[in-house]
Amino acid sequence: MRVRKRKGAEELISSHPEYVVDQAHTFKGKWHERFGNDHPIHIEIGMGKGQFITEMAKAHPEINYIGVEIQVSVVSFALDKVLAEELPNVQLLHVDGSSLTEYFADGEVDRIYLNFSDPWPKKRHEKRRLTYKSFLAVDEQILKPAGEIHFKTDNQGLFEYSLASFSQYGMTILKVWLDLHHSDYEGNIMTEYEEKFSSRGQRIYRVEARFNGKQL
């Protein structure tokens, strides 16, 4: 998601350290202390403007959510939503999603969400896709054994690539939706992109995949 630079974004973020975590690396292995409970931790890599993660947090107060986003303006928009809802089970990280081992200990995370990631369609950019094997290795490291990735996209090419990447990595494909909005899946919470694409009649793809064999 590319957005224009938002005036005052950095100031807004710095004024709310209770939600946007400064020096996030200091909480590596200690996120339960940050939340003040031992609830499961789910993270969204590339949270966009925060609609998905805030709505998930509202729907599931028994789960702690952490949104990861590299663009400061985008983080500020997500912060707006969290502030409006006063959600105690959401934290936001203004960090690079490729460096998650700096912020999470091995096995600290229960689930990862990837929603409408950049497809990087050119072959020479394959290594930038968030479902490329090097990203999966990082995900596996921070996830608990048998941790899951839940992935949504409107891009058929990226979806097909991701299914193959998960399989080649040795993951188990648990469930696949080839047309999510015309399926019997219940409880779907949409991202901003998803609402836009769906309104145009575009098909939404979804997959749940599980890592196998990792032991801490």
Known catalytic residues are 118
Q: Please, are residues 203 and 179 in contact by the beta-carbon 8 Å criterion?
A: yes
Residues above pLDDT 90, as percent of the chain: 86
DSSP 154-175: S-HHHHHHHHHHHHHHT-EEEE
CA distance readout (Å), 175 to 21, 151, 169, 206: 34, 11, 17, 8
Is 44 annotated as contributing to ligand binding?
A: yes
| 8 A C-beta contact, residue 162 and residue 130 | no
Mean pLDDT of the chain: 94
Whether residue 33 is annotated as binding a ligand: the answer is no
- Can you give the pLDDT at residue 216? 42
Whether the Cβ atoms of residue 110 and residue 64 lie closer than 8 Å to each other = no
- Give the 3-state secondary structure of residue 210: strand
Amino acid at 198: S
Tell me: is residue 118 an annotated ligand-binding position. yes
Q: In CATH terms, is domain 9-210 a member of 3.40.50.150? A: yes
Indicate the pTM of the whole model: 0.93
Contact status, residue 40 vs residue 11, Cβ threshold 8 Å: no
Per-residue pLDDT at 215: 44
| Residues whose CB is less than 8 angstroms from the CB of residue 184 and which lie 6 or more positions away in sequence, other chains included | none
Please check if 194 is assigned to a binding site.
yes
Q: Do 46 and 130 meet the contact criterion of CB atoms below 8 Å apart?
A: yes
> What confidence tens digit (pLDDT) does each residue in 123-167 have?
999 999 999 999 999 999 999 999 999 999 999 999 999 999 999
